[in-house]
Amino acid sequence: MNDYLHLHQYDTGIAPVVAKARDYPAGENTPRHAHPTAQLLYAVEGVMVVSTALGQWIVPPTRGIWLPIDTWHQVRMISAVRMRTVYVRKDSLEGLPQECRVLAISPLLRELILAAMSIAVPYAPDSRDERLMKLLLDEIRSLPTLALSLPRPQSPALQGLCDVLLAEPADARSVEEWATQLAMDPRTLQRRFSRETGLSLGQWRRQARLIAALEKLACGASVLEVALDLGYASPSAFATMFKRELGVSPSSFYAPLPDDDYAVICGG
């Protein structure tokens, strides 16, 4: 971990907002690590899966993930990733998220992030560089949160249930069947699951399937292959679920977004 952290010279709070670029090959995993600043991870190209103690998030292009200060995390590159990171010091966090979130990256924010890569630190107060960084933070504050997270329960029994569903997303056992296996009343299972994850078991299963689908699509699988692998009766049933959750069809999810389509993806 120390060797990896040595590479991060820009997360020490030398300026209120600092940006850094780094590229990774497909299949690379970062060690589990944390930063003394909050950060926005964004992939100009490629797909990342970010894991923390609280769950798992998938981060494709046009999306980013916000990580609060001292959030332990590990990043897995599903494909080759051109990562762009924005580090935000504690004294600049007002109005920014206080928990991990996947965010829709607006066309404006994308350009601000790319412009920030060329800003040297420290920069002068009230300079053009500082104003650009403040505008970048304002744009983050306005971003919608996307349903691309998978919270992890805390109890061993429910963790085991979730591990099965992650390994076998097509598993279609009902709440009653799982309750029997875990020696619980179905209502108790639902109540505990909701309390520990904030989602019902059915919602969590849909999220797990959605994240699995995004990984498979990123690796080149067809919509038909993904639908069958995840237990859907037909590609159209899978596509309906996908569009309901993310606002676009599976086949167009990884395509670059025209500016006019951004409001559609964000629910505008």
pLDDT in tens, 229-264: 998 889 999 999 888 877 778 887 766 544 444 333
Residues 169 and 198 in one domain: yes
Q: Report if pTM > 0.75.
A: no
Residues 63 and 196 in one domain: no
* pLDDT value of residue 245: 75
Residues 56 and 132 in one domain: yes
Residues 115 and 174 in one domain: no
Least confident of 6-15, 50-59, 161-170: 6-15
Write down the residue that tokens 């056992």 correspond to: 173
Residues 6 and 45 in one domain: yes
Residues 77 and 38 in one domain: yes
Say how many domains are in the chain. Answer: 2
Residues 40 and 131 in one domain: yes
Q: Which residues of 24-61 are buried (b: 16+ CB within 10 A; e: fewer)?
A: beeeeebeeebbebbbbbbbbebbbbbbbebbbbbbbb
Residues 114 and 170 in one domain: no
Residues 182 and 256 in one domain: yes
Domain boundary among 103, 119, 146: 146
The CA-based dihedral angle spanning residues 253, 100, 227, 245, taken in that order and rounded to the nearest 10 degrees: -70
Whose CA is closest to 70, among 35, 18, 31? Answer: 35
* Per-residue pLDDT band at 55 (split at 50, 70, 90): confident
Domain boundary among 117, 146, 175: 146
* pLDDT value of residue 53: 82
The pair phi, psi for residue 86, each rounded to 5°, is: -115, 120
* pLDDT value of residue 89: 95
CATH of the domain at 245: 1.10.10.60
Domain boundary among 94, 127, 146: 146
Residues 97 and 191 in one domain: no
Q: Domain range holding 256?
A: 153-265
Q: Which helix (H) or strand (E) holds 175?
A: helix 175-181
Residues 128 and 198 in one domain: no
